[in-house]
Structure 1
Amino acid sequence: MSAPGPLDRWYESAGVRTGVRRMFHEGAEQGLVFFPEALVPHLAHEAVRALPPERRRELTIRHLYQFLIATTHLETRVVNRAAEPIANGRTGLPLTTALRQDAFKVYCDEGYHALYSLDLADQIATVTGIPIPVRDYGGFVEQLAVAAREPLPDQPELAGLLQAVVFETLITAVLNEVPNDTTVVRPVRDLMRDHAKDEGRHHRFFAAFFQELWAGLTPQLRRRAALALPDLIHAALRWDLGPVADSLRLAGLDADTTRAVLADCFAPSTGANRISEISRSTLRLCASVGAFDLPGVREAFAARGLYEVDEGP
């Protein structure tokens, strides 16, 4: 008998099957923040610390909006773009029917995650009176695509699959940073917890799929894929600065101060330790298929501040 799969109990446990709608009621959330302040890099900048408390509060709300609405784009335009060919057997790999059905389950989950992320953002905007800025929160999707296309210009399908594997093996660690932070409003914590439960199963699905994908690559493509992974990891964890700049200007900072805050708080070297910690599971997955044994791969990861980790839990 084969080992149970990560989505075997999907009908009984998936959020889209069993979850409840998370509702925001401002009166019950007085004194709490909308996003962990430690995860909003620009809040620590001296120019931002000098703002009135209500402007700083608005910054955390708009940071949450960016996280939630960016999620809708990631789930539907990155993950589901990869889940669909897996589900419909269009990857060129000899996939089992069970794995293809699991890919459809992922597809359903991701649409639901996009729905409830937009729903909560809209609820908060309605209740607080702080509107969601009118802008494209999905501009970073093209940045992700460029990060995938540059090392694999002749392999767009493979690039998309690798992009989804990277994102889905990183996202659970990101989501788990919020639910236990009692300074954050409860509906946000609950939604992140709901999302993390589903993504934990998706992580295991995409890790298993990556093993199948890797086994089907030629030695040459394996090395090219492995060399692409460090940039894909960084691209998946890089904040889109357009919405951040909008938020800072709406808070009252002029253009020069906004540029200074972005340069100080979002420089390429900032957040390196956090990126390294969040990517540990992804690096273990790379190690499990022998990616670090290929020429130049260990050096490529190290150049990005990413180092091979033990394959333990």
Structure 2
Amino acid sequence: MPGEPAASTEPALPAGPTASAEPTASPGGSAFGSWYSAAGVRGGARQFFGPEMERGRVFFPAELVPHLSHEAVRALPPARVRELTVRHLYQFLLSATHLETRVVNRGAERIAANQAGVDLPTAGRLDAYKIYCDEGYHSLYSLDLADQIAIATGIPIPGCDYGAFVGELARTGRDLLPGEPVLAQLLQVIVFETLITAVLNEVPNDPTVVTAVRELTRDHARDEGRHHRFFTGFFHVLWAQLSGSLRIRVGAAVPGLVLACLAVDVGPIRVSLRLAGLDGAAADAVVRDVYGGAAATRRSRELARATVQMCESAGVLDLPGAREHFATHGLG
């Protein structure tokens, strides 16, 4: 793999006949042209939570906290329901800190250091380093806001492992693309970075949500729009450099990788439900009733629309049986 130490045992991505030895443009195009002035880490303001100004507002949109609609949760006192919403915000923010630093930045660093097995010009590698900087800052301000809210509301951040999903993602990558650890990691980053903008855009325009949360997610979404453009372009470069046999394997793996990236980490949700007063059996029943079924499939399809479009534009869905395979996973 280009740039790898000689002792590395990780396989390089095979180059196909369409690979370009001297690419001349970054996959992100001009998306990062104003990064030094426009990126949140360069000029963004720190978001402060002001509880005295936020009375009557919610900490997270109720429709994005599915368990609030369950009859066992609706029977709880309003104060407990409010705590559930705050803790769901904590999960949203702190899961992002793990995603950005442990998943996305691992891939961004590979690309920036020219160790991803994909030929990119210096401009593309510089853009990957800009993404690396962005993601570290997103992690910083996510934890910062969660801490501010915990102090102001008196609702502590539970001692959950908000990054447990990282290990599950690694297992999924090994299962779907055995023998291709680097490729699996890169694909997970690409999938996440083309999914996350849709998730972030659901919050900023909701006037019922507290201002600091709306502004933080708006800032995050603005940066992620640039990342989306970069990784969409990067996927096209990557796809062009894969051998025919590896393209078939990737096409078969992508739907499963998408669903793994969209899977809800129910561990912290169970903890939150128990803290709200439900016993173990009731908490398990809520999770079982809410997180699955047709509603979850519809939401996955909606959030994955841009990712599926990226695959279609690159030619993934032109592989024999690919469209049917995506449809089988609810992504058709």
- Map 1:180-195 to 2 at 5 A: 180-195=205-220
How far off its partner does 1:133 sit?
Answer: 0.2
Any stretches of 5+ residues in structure 2 without a counterpart? 1-23
Give secondary structure in 1 for the equivalent of 2:295.
Answer: coil
Cα separation, partners in 2 of 1:2 and 1:157, compared to 1, 3 Å: closer
Write the deviation string for residues 112-140 of structure 1: whole angstroms up to 9, x where unpaired: 00000000000000110100001211001
Match of 2:84 in 1: 59
Aligned CA RMSD, in angstroms, stands at 1.2
User: Percent identity among equivalent residues?
Assistant: 60
In structure 1, what is the equivalent of residue 94 of structure 2? 69
Q: Deviations over 1:7-32 (max 9, x none)?
A: 11110110000100000011100011
The answer for the alignment partner of 1:118 in structure 2 is 143
Residue 10 of structure 1 aligns with an amino acid whose one-letter code is W
- 1:153-192 equivalent positions in 2, closer than 5 A: 153-192=178-217
Using structure 1 for the length normalisation, give the TM-score: 0.96
Q: Of the candidates 73, 76, 79, which is equivalent to residue 104 of structure 2?
A: 79
Q: Deviations over 1:222-276 (max 9, x none)?
A: 1111111111111111110000000000000011111110110012543221211
Return the alpha-carbon distance in structure 2 between the equivalents of residues 83 and 204 of structure 1: 14
- Among residues 37, 56, 61, which one is paired with 2:62 in the alignment? 37
Q: SS at 1:94's partner residue?
A: coil
Q: Which residue of 1 aligns with 2:259?
A: 234
1:301: which partner in 2?
326
Helix, strand or coil at the partner of 2:188: helix
Matched ranges for 1:234-273 at <5 A: 234-273=259-298
* Pairing 1:188-203 to 2, within 5 Å after superposition: 188-203=213-228
Candidates 119, 143, 147, aligned match of 2:168: 143
Does residue 210 (structure 1) correspond to residue 235 (structure 2)? The answer is yes
AA of the residue aligned to 2:276: A
Distance 1:305 1:92 in 2: 31
- Distance of aligned partners of 1:148 and 1:269 in 2 relative to their CA distance in 1, 3 Å threshold: farther
1:133 aligns with 2:133: no
Conserved 8 A contact 2:176-2:256: no
CA distance in 1, matches of 2:178, 2:151: 44
1:73-122 deviation digits (Å, cap 9, x = unpaired): 00001100100110000122221000000000000000000000000000
1:14 and 2:42 correspond: no
Query: Is the 2:25–2:124 Cα contact (8 Å) retained in structure 1?
Result: no
What code does the residue aligned with 1:197 have?
R
Structure 2 counterpart of 1:90, one-letter code: Q
Q: Return the letter of the residue paired with 2:77.
A: P
Moved over 6 A (4+): none
SS at match of 2:195: helix
What amino acid sits opposite 2:282 in the alignment? T
Say if 1:243 and 1:2 are closer, same or farther in 2 by CA, change over 3 A.
closer
Instruction: Report the Cα distance in structure 2 between the residues aligned to 1:61 and 1:302, rounded to whole angstroms.
Output: 35
AA aligned opposite 1:99? G
Provide the residue aligned with 1:310 in structure 2: none
Question: Are 2:62 and 2:68, in contact at CA under 8 Å, matched by a contact in 1?
Answer: yes
SS at match of 1:132: coil
Residue 278 of structure 1 deviates from its aligned partner by 1.3
Structure 1 alignment gaps of length 5 or more: 308-313
TM-score with structure 2 setting the length = 0.90
Residue 286 (structure 1) aligned to one of 303, 311, 315? 311
Distance in 2 between residues matched to 1:168 and 1:2, nearest whole Å: 20
Summarize the Cα distance change of 1:133–1:2 in structure 2 as closer, same or farther, 3 Å threshold: closer
C-alpha distance after superposition, 1:252-308 (max 9, x if no partner): 00111111101100125432212111111111100011111112321221111111x
Structure 1 position 2, deviation (Å): 6.9
Q: Whole-Å Cα distance in 2 between the matches of residues 174 and 231 of structure 1?
A: 19
